[in-house]
Amino acid sequence: MLPIFGGFTPSVDFFGHSDPYALVERHGSPLYVYNESILRQRCREMLRLLDHPDFHVSYSSKANANLALLGIIREEGLRADAMSLGEMHILLQAGFTPEEIFFVANNVAEEELGFALEHEILISADSLSLLEAVGRLNPGGPVAIRFNPGVGAGHHQKVITAGAGTKFGIDPMFVPQVKAALRAHRLKLVGINHHIGSLFMEPDPYLAGAQALLKIAKQFDDLAFVDLGGGFGVPYRKLAGQPRLDLVRLGNELSGHIAAFETAYGKRIAVHIETGRYVSAECGVLLGMVHTVKENYGERFAGTDIGFNTLMRPVLYDSHHDIEVYRKGGASAGSEPVTVVGNICETGDVLTTARDLPPLHQGDLLCVLDSGAYGFAMASNYNGRLRPAEVLVRDDGKDVLIRRRDTLESLTANCLPPTGDRARISRPKGP
């Protein structure tokens, strides 16, 4: 089935042997659909970024931690980084070995550090207090440190993760205190890392950040690696012809900086990057149904089942996602501005405002492009809504269910029944 509007990514090939209507009929709407060949292609592009004998790419599992996708990403040769005990657990389940996991800890509880140490997963400490805690729990062990070299970038203030005003990393002015803590606990500093923020579309901020981190690296002897973080952007405005991030220029210039660093440092060093969005955003779309159309005070609304419980980025970051429209057997002429909203009881539940789309009808299927990263990962049960199923379209065109849709039972599965007097008080009285 071809879209009546759009036609960029999810053509027939994206959905393999099925069409989008068939998929939602089988698995319910809304529905996340991923395409295996696009996922593999993005992994390979990242692996080719740097021509360096000891270059490693970690996938940031926060972007999308579905086990099936993680399995493919690992098969492609990526490692992974985790932000929490839960993500470490998921990555181990997906088959990553402890050596392939990097725990980038931010304000974590000692229980989470304990889990990492028990499994011999390397921890990056991003504050002096966390470094002290690692030292107390694992004196003499290896550790990494996340610095905040002062260079930040990102598509929204909320996702710029370095520079003044951000909570992450250690300010390099505290290098003497870092060295003292390392000495006090006989910790072996094996690497330093940073992350400037999420979604840059020009190479320059990343290169500036890398240079700043390499300058800090020179202050420590015998590092095994530097980890330059992620944030590689993808074009969310494909329908308007937005160009891709120039990975060739980024890689070439980065190679130059690394080579100069290695010469000055007097030894080769492993180079790591962490990337979430670049790997998983474009392989995923979110399908959702138009249930109502109306006009309120001169504004046209299309009411869908794509609430912000399903895809949060537009509400959280004012993010743009291209939208395609599918209609059973129907063509459409013209377009009109329409505000596409979800089914959550909040006025802010808006997917897009006054977007030019063909006049929408009940039963039209919307396809929200580039939803594979920070889509399902941020979904919730707000308003008692079921989180969607996830389907993977394999290289051979066959689709497989890789996560069941939530059920009504799962909504209350962790609640304990009321007991004792409270139960008597809250139980409704019969007639």
Ligand X SMILES: Cc1ncc(COP(=O)(O)O)c(C=O)c1O
Where in the sequence numbering do the catalytic residues fall? 345
Contact 250, 297 (CB under 8 A): no
Binding of ligand X at residue 304 (CB under 6 A)? no
- Cα-flanking dihedrals φ and ψ of residue 366, to 5°? -100, 145
**Single residue of 27, 79, 195, 272 touching ligand X by CB under 6 A:** 195
Cα distance between residue 343 and residue 216, in whole Å:
49
> Residue 194 Cβ, how far from ligand X at the closest point, in Å?
8
- Write down the least CB distance from residue 332 to ligand X, Å: 35
* Of 3, 6, 10, 231, the one binding ligand X by CB under 6 A: 231
The stretch among 94-102, 208-216, 275-283, 306-314 that binds ligand X (CB under 6 A) is 275-283
Residue 134, token pair as written in the block:
């690692």
Of 198, 304, 309, 319, the residue at the interface with ligand X (CB under 6 A) is 198
Structure tokens at 263: 């010469």
SS3 track for the chain: CCCCECCCCCCCCCCCCCCHHHHHHHHCCCEEEEEHHHHHHHHHHHHCCCCCCCEEEEEEHHHCCCHHHHHHHHHCCCEEEECCHHHHHHHHHCCCCHHHEEEECCCCCHHHHHHHHHCCCEEEECCHHHHHHHHHHCCCCEEEEEECCCCCCCCCHHHECCCCCCCCCECHHHHHHHHHHHHHCCCEEEEEECCCECCECCCHHHHHHHHHHHHHHCCCCCCCEEECCCCECCCCCHHHCCCCCCHHHHHHHHHHHHHHHHHHHCCCCEEEEEECHHHHCCCEEEEEEEEEEEEECCEEEEEECCCCCCCCHHHHHCCCCCEEEECCCCCCCCCEEEEEECCCCCCCCEEEEEEEECCCCCCCEEEECCCCCCCHHHCCCHHHCCCCEEEEECCCCCEEEEECCCCHHHHHCCCCCCCHHHHHHHCCCCC
By CB under 6 A, which span of 48-56, 210-218, 229-237, 287-295 interacts with ligand X? 229-237
**In this chain, which stretch among 10-18, 249-257, 272-280, 411-419 interacts with ligand X, using CB under 6 A?**
272-280
Nearest residue to ligand X, using CB?
Answer: 276
Count CB atoms within 10 A of the CB of residue 207.
18
Q: Does 161 bind ligand X (CB under 6 A)?
A: yes
Two tokens, residue 20: 């989008």
Smallest CA-to-CA distance from 1 within 361, 329, 238, 398 is with 329
Which one of the spans 276-284, 309-317, 339-347, 413-421 is the region binding ligand X (CB under 6 A)? 276-284
Pick 277 or 327: Cβ nearer ligand X: 277
60 binds ligand X (CB under 6 A): yes
Identify the residue among 191, 276, 303, 388 touching ligand X (CB under 6 A). 276
CB nearer ligand X, residue 77 or residue 418: 77
Report 362-401 residues binding ligand X (CB under 6 A): 373
- Taking CB under 6 A as the rule, does residue 39 contact ligand X? no
Q: Is 313 in the site for ligand X (CB under 6 A)?
A: no
Shortest distance, CB of residue 168 to ligand X, whole angstroms? 7
Is position 170 an interface residue for ligand X (rule: CB under 6 A)? no
- Specify the stretch interacting with ligand X by CB under 6 A; choose among 4-12, 224-232, 240-248, 252-260: 224-232
Residue 42 binds ligand X, judged by CB under 6 A: no
Tell me how far, at minimum, the Cβ of 75 lies from ligand X, in Å.
Answer: 20
Least distance from ligand X to the Cβ atom of residue 340, Å: 25
- Which of 274, 305, 324, 370 touches ligand X by CB under 6 A? 274
> Which C-beta is closer to ligand X: that of 194 or that of 387?
194
Q: Which is nearer to ligand X, 281 or 393 (CB)?
A: 281
Tell whether residue 63 is a contact of ligand X (CB under 6 A): yes
Q: For tokens 């129907």, what's the residue?
A: 330
**Please, what is the minimum distance in Å from the beta carbon of residue 60 to ligand X?**
4
Considering the rule CB under 6 A, would residue 127 count as an interface residue with ligand X? no
Interaction between residue 230 and ligand X (CB under 6 A): yes
Which one, of 296, 398, 381, lies nearest residue 347 by Cα?
296
Least distance to ligand X, CB of residue 55, Å: 16
Give least dist CB 1 to ligand X, A: 31
- Of 84, 148, 275, 304, the one binding ligand X (CB under 6 A) is 275
Footprint of ligand X on this chain (CB under 6 A)?
Answer: 60, 62-63, 81, 104, 161, 195, 198-199, 229-232, 274-278, 373
